[in-house]
Structure 1
Amino acid sequence: MQTLSTPPNAAPASVGIDPTIVRRKTRAVPVGDVFIGGGHPVAVQSMINEDTLDIEGAVAGIRRLHEIGCEIMRVTVPSMAHAKAMEEIRDRLIKTYQNVPLVADVHHNGMKIALEAAKYVDNVRINPGLYVFEKPKSDRTEYTSAEFNEIGEKIRETLKPLVISLRDQNKSIRIGVNHGSLAERMLFTYGDTPEGMVESALEFIRICESLDFYNIEISLKASRVPVMIAANRLMVKRMDELGMDYPLHLGVTEAGDGEYGRIKSTAGIGTLLAQGIGDTIRVSLTEAPEKEIPVCYSILQALGLRRTMVEYVACPSCGRTLFNLEEVLHKVRSATDHLTGLNIAVMGCIVNGPGEMADADYGYVGKQPGYIALYRGREEIKRVPEVDGVEELINLIKADGRWIDPQ
């Protein structure tokens, strides 16, 4: 993985420049046996929707997600009882499955809850806007410097035991800022803006650093994609100015469901990853969490950041197409989608053949009516009857020693 720094406002690449994404250089932050940042692969996260007090249900939910590729599991911990339940969840996982990286999600004055959960999880996520309650005043017109600093000191004293606990256990924290839940004094000082989100995160970062704690992961999420992108870009700019190198967790919060939820998440997460920004991601869908993982891997695969499945290249079909392209692509995908790391092209005619599929490992090309030309890279290997095309493609992959039988 590339780890050289690149500014978020870098000039567009020109002809002849390597198009490979160059990731922003960050420190490596541990979450159990997974590392975020430091050149490690972009990690995939999700969150179970079972009640944490349902031990069996929570363990089963974590296991289901982990088995399909989710690398870090977040679990909601809204009360002290939930925090204590994390001990049994951890023990059950170790005894019946394996040790899975766990994150406790703590909200709303969760100081004592977070401290308890920190005993049993690998990472604690806190929301600066909710961690210390600031009672709103309907007639307030400003925050004085004295009031601002007084609350800041209260936050420091409240956060200190948690930071020390995580530091001494070599665990980590996620400072998770949400656009919709900024603290009142941040709203008064900076407005409902990306600046307010960034300053909220920086306040907590400085507290951690003052206590010699640097296992910090940051997220700045919003339900509006432009706000999410702007906040993360500004966070990188401010960290560069301050000499900070903390990894970023990317996500569009409350993205919704279905096609649009996936498009929103891809637009936000993919835009930043393409600029080298981002070290771990979560796609937040109003669906079963298992539906989030394929979207994460599809984003990473499309950008060349992870290779976890076959990359299919297919032309859109036109009047030159010599077979039912949609049907054939479905057959090829069904036969090969269990493989990992291959590029397979399915092209309807010779016009869109070798040139358009230059990066493919294997090609399936309509070259004359009733016959398929099979390619290895740019080289045509043989022509076969269309009815035998998929079988012969599999045979070619097998002959190259790149085939594995599906489970």
Structure 2
Amino acid sequence: MTGIIALSQNMLQNIREKVGTNSRFDTQIYRRPTRTVMVGNVPIGSEHPIVVQSMINEDTLDIENAARGICRLVDAGCEIVRVTTPSIAHAKAVGEIRSLLTQKGYQVPLVADIHHNGIKIAMEVLNHVDKVRINPGLFIFDKPGVKPNDFTTEEYEYIGERIRTTFEPLVKKLKEQNKALRIGVNHGSLAERMLFTYGDTPQGMVESAMEFIRICHALDFHNIIVSMKASRTPIMLAAYRLMAHTMDKEGYHYPLHLGVTEAGDGDYGRIKSTAGIAPLLADGIGDTIRVSLTEAPEKEIPVCYSILQSLGLRKTMVEYVACPSCGRTLFNLEEVLHKVRLATSHLTGLDIAVMGCIVNGPGEMADADYGYVGKTPGIISLYRGREEIRKVPESEGVTALIELIKEDGRWVDPV
């Protein structure tokens, strides 16, 4: 693990040098330079905002319900939607789903998820989607039975040749249609020959992806996005850092799709996903993200946007700055923050601070657009940036805040 951390630090320093800074202590996130890959009409790459995506859990054969699931995700803010296609029938159903979505006015890019020996499925579904996701560990999937210590060099190379000949037609069709490919490695489904050669390690995950990347490169196909997902956060972090380092070292500047797979549900699932995704984004690694929760898919989207906003990478909602409350607090801070949030949460692009007292309030909220501060008992001071604008009775505080935002032309009525 120490070696992986060292690689990450070296890679981050290289990124900073490329963008013209040697500082290790500034507040700017310098994204790893990656090429732009179009997924439908959505660009993914370091020159574009980080894209939020998810996956429906409806059966793709259920056309109506699958379409409704996609619509719910899009309405929640999802920008790319993945659907599972385990059979030819499922692949054909995606065409009907796409037609139904068009009728409803939804133009979201679709991604087909391909697994066991899925080349025929991939060739069919490619006519209906914008991106295909393959799992290298399952692309050539034989029944278990080969013992890891039975792999000879000839057997290893034979399977590699089978992969190449099976994979090439898909790559050529992707190139002809100018569509995208996600090489999606999962730690839990590494191919047996990778396990034999590299062990159950981040290196095995990286080499699994690199085998497919090199085939694509030989065919001059570059619409590639890569993921290195694991259910254990430390493995996921190490794998992505090593993947970014390896690709950059070999000149493959492909975007990375970040995620902790099978993160679970509730607070822990959200915390676990954030623990994996946020450090990589802070290091400049990652161009699209998915938070994988065991909940309704649309509940993943707010978590994604919260991660991005907390790092300053996207501004999609109000940023609330609020102190934790203490003995100096001059009003019920939790209650007031709730009232302010209810009144303003539909806005975008604003920072609003709710601070309990005058001691720390003006200083700690200095970066906020607006401040709501307990001045004296029963009195609220409203700020625009660092400037105190007016004092009002506490009972009028939220209404006065809304009026101040309206005066500045930054208010929109909720839908």
| Residues 7 and 335 of structure 1: CA distance in aligned 2, closer, same or farther (over 3 Å) | farther
1:312 aligns with 2:320: yes
1:60 aligns with 2:68: yes
Which of residues 333, 344, 360 in structure 2 aligns to 1:336?
344
Q: Amino acid of the residue matched to residue 311 of structure 1?
A: E
Aligned partner of residue 355 in structure 1, secondary structure: helix
Aligned residue number for residue 257 of structure 1:
265
Aligned partner of residue 373 in structure 1, secondary structure: strand
Separation in 1 of the partners of 2:123 and 2:407? 57
Aligned residue number for residue 274 of structure 1:
282
1:290 aligns with 2:298: yes
| Residues 386 and 115 of structure 1: CA distance in aligned 2, closer, same or farther (over 3 Å) | same
TM-score, scaled relative to structure 1: 0.96
Within 5 Å, give how 1:124-135 maps onto structure 2.
Answer: 124-135=132-143
**How many aligned positions are there?**
403
Aligned residue number for residue 3 of structure 2:
none
For the 8 Å contact 2:36–2:43, the answer to whether it is kept is: yes
Structure 1 residue 185: Cα displacement: 0.2
| Residues 123 and 138 of structure 1: CA distance in aligned 2, closer, same or farther (over 3 Å) | closer
Identity of paired residues, percent? Answer: 71
User: Which has the larger helix fraction?
Assistant: 2
Aligned partner of residue 149 in structure 2, secondary structure: coil
Structure 1 residue 136: Cα displacement: 3.7
1:143 aligns with 2:148: no
Separation in 1 of the partners of 2:147 and 2:344? 65
Aligned partner of residue 372 in structure 1, secondary structure: strand
For the 8 Å contact 2:115–2:139, the answer to whether it is kept is: yes
Structure 1 residue 17: Cα displacement: 5.0
Q: Amino acid of the residue matched to residue 313 of structure 1?
A: V
| Residues 65 and 139 of structure 1: CA distance in aligned 2, closer, same or farther (over 3 Å) | closer
Separation in 1 of the partners of 2:78 and 2:127? 23
1:167 aligns with 2:179: no
Q: Structure 2: give runs of 5+ residues left out of the alignment.
A: 1-7
Aligned residue number for residue 98 of structure 2:
90
| Residues 15 and 156 of structure 1: CA distance in aligned 2, closer, same or farther (over 3 Å) | closer
For the 8 Å contact 2:148–2:193, the answer to whether it is kept is: no
Which of residues 47, 66, 71 in structure 1 aligns to 2:79?
71
Deviations 1:86-112 (A, max 9, x none): 111111111222322000001111010
For the 8 Å contact 1:109–1:132, the answer to whether it is kept is: yes
RMSD: 1.8
Aligned residue number for residue 100 of structure 1:
108
Q: Amino acid of the residue matched to residue 71 of structure 1?
A: E
Structure 1 residue 134: Cα displacement: 3.6
Structure 1 residue 6: Cα displacement: 8.9
Aligned residue number for residue 379 of structure 2:
371
Separation in 2 of the partners of 1:213 and 1:141? 34
1:233 aligns with 2:241: yes
1:178 aligns with 2:186: yes
Q: Structure 1: give runs of 5+ residues left out of the alignment.
A: none
TM-score, scaled relative to structure 2: 0.94
Aligned residue number for residue 204 of structure 1:
212
Which of residues 150, 166, 171 in structure 2 aligns to 1:158?
166
| Residues 33 and 7 of structure 1: CA distance in aligned 2, closer, same or farther (over 3 Å) | farther
Aligned residue number for residue 58 of structure 2:
50
Aligned residue number for residue 4 of structure 2:
none
Aligned residue number for residue 356 of structure 2:
348
Aligned residue number for residue 300 of structure 1:
308
Separation in 2 of the partners of 1:14 and 1:193? 32
Structure 1 residue 10: Cα displacement: 3.9
Q: Amino acid of the residue matched to residue 85 of structure 2?
A: V
| Residues 323 and 101 of structure 1: CA distance in aligned 2, closer, same or farther (over 3 Å) | same
| Residues 117 and 6 of structure 1: CA distance in aligned 2, closer, same or farther (over 3 Å) | farther
